[in-house]
């Protein structure tokens, strides 16, 4: 499994979790974040004196980190704070926007999962008719952007929103097939 290099802060708890019953001086600040490449939900401990803001991009890779002391580990969607949950969609949307080429590539390279199911059909609201239009259109020429996709495939819902909805579904609940998210584990 490839590690996340960068993460987007969803929530910062300068005094740790409210349910932590230890005395205040023993608590450590905690940040909840989402990784940019595999959409991994992470629990982070910032360096002493560092105050993090929601939507702040932080380095969490193996090299020297400027703001993050260590990664506690992966967390499930259920363990996100109310603030982190409310910021999740905005963060995912920003990641998809910044990496448009990666997601347009999905429309260009997606494949059949079986004789009856295609990866494109896993996108919310994507039916067979729209899927076939995309497959035919990409034979003519690969898609260059979300805008190009919208212009060439008539009545296609906003491709960016389709991707965001699918990523959120993969983060929030167990899926049979994962397109974009590194699965958390059997007991989400």
| Residue 92 belongs to a domain | no
| Structural domain ending residue among the three candidates 47, 79, 111 | 79
Q: What is the number of structural domains in the chain?
A: 2
Quick one: 108 and 54 in the same domain? no
* Residue 185 included in any domain: no
Q: Mark out the alpha helices in the chain (DSSP H runs).
A: 82-98, 100-109, 128-140, 146-152, 159-172
* Residue 30, H or E segment: strand 30-35
Torsion of CA 78, 44, 73, 95, to 10 degrees: 70
Q: What is the CATH number of the domain that holds 51?
A: 2.40.50.140
Which of residues 46, 79, 112 is at a domain's end? 79
pTM over 0.85: yes
Query: Residue written as tokens 């495939």?
Result: 153
Answer yes or no: do 61 and 29 share one domain: yes
Whether 186 is covered by a domain: the verdict is no
Please indicate, yes or no, if residue 179 is contained in any of the structural domains.
no
> In terms of residue numbers, what domain contains 141?
99-172
Measure the CA–CA gap between 15 and 53, rounded to whole angstroms. 14
3-state secondary structure of 9: strand
* pLDDT tens track, the chain, 188 positions: 468 999 999 999 998 887 877 777 778 899 999 999 999 999 999 999 999 999 999 999 999 999 999 999 999 999 999 999 999 999 999 999 999 999 999 999 999 999 999 999 999 989 899 999 999 999 999 999 999 999 999 888 899 999 999 999 999 988 999 999 988 764 33
Picking from 7, 40, 35, 43, the residue whose alpha carbon sits closest to that of residue 170 is 40
């Amino acid at each position: 499994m490839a590690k996340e290099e960068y993460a987007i802060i969803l929530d910062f708890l300068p005094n740790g979790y409210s349910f932590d019953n230890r005395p205040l001086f023993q608590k450590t600040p905690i940040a909840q974040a989402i990784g940019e490449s595999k959409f991994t939900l992470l629990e982070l401990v910032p360096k002493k004196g560092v105050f993090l803001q929601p939507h702040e991009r932080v380095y969490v890779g193996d090299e020297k980190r400027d703001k993050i002391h260590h990664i506690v580990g992966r967390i499930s969607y259920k363990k996100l704070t109310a603030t982190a949950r409310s910021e999740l969609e905005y963060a995912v949307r920003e990641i998809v926007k910044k990496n448009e080429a990666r997601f347009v590539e999905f429309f260009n390279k997606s494949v059949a999962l079986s004789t009856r199911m295609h990866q494109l059909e896993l996108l919310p609201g994507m039916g067979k008719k729209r899927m076939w239009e995309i497959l035919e259109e990409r034979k003519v020429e690969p898609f260059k952007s979300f805008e190009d996709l919208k212009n060439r495939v008539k009545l296609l819902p906003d491709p960016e929103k389709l991707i965001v909805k699918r990523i959120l579904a993969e983060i929030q609940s167990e899926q049979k097939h994962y397109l974009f998210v590194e699965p958390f584990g059997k007991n989400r």
